[in-house]
Amino acid sequence: MKKDFQSFLKSIPIAVGVGIVVAGLIFVITSRLATTYDAATTWTVSKSSALSQQKTDYYLYDQYYITLASQQYADIIQAWFVSPGIVEQVYRAAQVELPSVKPAKVGKLIRATKRPPANLAVRFRSGSKDDADRLALASHTIFSERLAQISQGEQDTYQIIASPVYTSANQVNIGLLALTGFLGAALAVLVLWGTVLYIVREA
């Protein structure tokens, strides 16, 4: 039993050494990762100027059909974001280089999440703050034009009302990742060493 304990103590420097190596690798790898930026905004689809009951000779159902149409147009806009051709058009208009990815992944470069009833939380990620901001502005212009075209009729068209764009940097906490890697690797070595000692003693 005493020999097992002494052998276990000898594993501590090894565990520390392995932990340091793993932490060093994590530090080197993560420090080389480029900082990315997210530009976030919320789009609300609404009618350009809602009709009033006083101006019409038919019942408006408390704007029920207008609200329903807004929801449907929000679904259409969300579908546009996964279209490689439309996404490419946005990047071109923003004068931002389109990443070299497969066509199936082009539609994932911009993330749009629907928020009922007719809102979209949109996130644009890029390697610089200016590029992310330009992508947000260009997409609003292009999508507004497309929405006006497909919703145009005898009455007013629908529009996209955008909230102010909020841009933030995505920075990795290198110190925390390195510490986590060190503790995880060291603990793994100690557990493995203890398991081997137990198997040898029981054999």
Q: What is the DSSP string of 63-126?
A: GHHHHHHHHHHHHHHHHHTT-HHHHHHHHHHHT-PPP---HHHHTTSEEEEEETTTEEEEEEEE
Letter for the amino acid at 110? I
Rounded Cα gap, residues 52 and 59, in angstroms? 10
Q: Which residue has the tokens 């928020």?
A: 115
Tokens of 105: 């992944």
The pLDDT score that the predictor gives to residue 93 is 95
Count CB neighbours of 139 within 10 A: 29
Rounded distance between C-alpha atoms, residue 22 and residue 192, angstroms: 16
How would you classify the pairing of strands 166-170 and 36-47? antiparallel
Mean pLDDT in residue range 92-97? 94
> Which of the pair, 181 or 31, is modelled with greater confidence?
181
pLDDT category at 195 given cuts 50, 70, 90 is confident
CA distances 107 to 3, 115, 195, Å, are 61, 19, 48
Q: pTM for the complete prediction?
A: 0.66
Dihedral Cα 41, 125, 149, 103, nearest 10 deg: -150
In angstroms, rounded to a whole number, what is the distance separating the alpha carbons of residues 126 and 40?
Answer: 12
Token pair of 183, please?
A: 């503790």
- Tens digits of per-residue pLDDT, 143-176? 999 998 888 764 567 899 999 999 998 866 667 7
89 burial type by CB count under 10 A (0-12 exposed, 13-18 middle, 19+ buried): middle
> Does the pLDDT at position 112 exceed 60?
yes
Lowest mean pLDDT, pick from 73-82, 115-124, 147-156: 147-156
